Amino acid sequence: MALPAEVEYDHEFQDGIRAIVSQLQAQGASEAQIKDTVQQATEYYQQRNRASEQEQHKEELSVNEEPETAVKEPERGEPYPASFTAIVEMLTTGREDQIPGIREIPLKINEQPPSESKMTRPRKPWE
**Chain mean pLDDT for the chain:** 79
104-127 pLDDT, tens per residue? Answer: 788 888 888 888 889 998 999 998
CA distances to 53, 60, 95, 111 from 64, rounded to whole Å, are 16, 6, 52, 52
Q: How big is the chain, counted in residues?
A: 127
Distance CA 38, CA 13 (A): 11
DSSP track, 47-103: HHHHHHHHHHHHHHHHHHSPPPS-PPPPP--SPPPSSHHHHHHHHHTT-GGGSTT--
pLDDT at 66: 57
Is the predicted pLDDT of residue 90 greater than 80, yes or no? yes
What is the model's pTM?
0.39
